[in-house]
Amino acid sequence: MSHKSSGANRSTSAAVITPDCRKIAPTEMTSKPRPFKDLSVHDVKIRILSDVALIHGRSTYTVLADGAEQEALYTDTYQKRGGTWVCVSAWAIAPGT
């Protein structure tokens, strides 16, 4: 898997790269209504383990309610099913909140 366009280990606010190398906006991964703005992802690392992919990263965003800038760490787990990568688990924690 190539990380050329994902900005692996670099900051990006343009897109997230899924295990199947699709570019999607970070906000497409979050249900609405979204209680934040200015979502960016950083330090993305993708590990492919056969038919399972682990995506670790850090995100930053601004909370709409109070304007506070926050940071979260996340891990998403994908499994390849019938040739398509499917997110089977997502976890995030906002340190210090």
Q: What string of H, E and C letters represents the secondary structure of the chain?
A: CCCCCCCCCCCECCCEECCCCCEECHHHHCCCCCCEEEEEEEEEEEEEECCEEEEEEEEEEEECCCCCEEEEEEEEEEEEECCEEEEEEEEEECCCC
Confidence (pLDDT) at 95: 75
Domain that holds residue 35: 16-93
Average pLDDT per block of 10 residues along the chain, 97 residues long: 33 50 59 80 94 94 90 94 91 80
Confidence (pLDDT) at 35: 83
- The domain spanning residue 62 has which CATH number? 3.10.450.50
Rounded to two decimals, what is the model's pTM?
0.62
**CB distance 72 to 59 below 8 Å:** yes
Assess if residue 71 is contained within a domain: yes
Domain count, the chain: 1
Structure token digits, residue 50: 């056969």
Assess if residue 70 is contained within a domain: yes
Confidence (pLDDT) at 5: 31
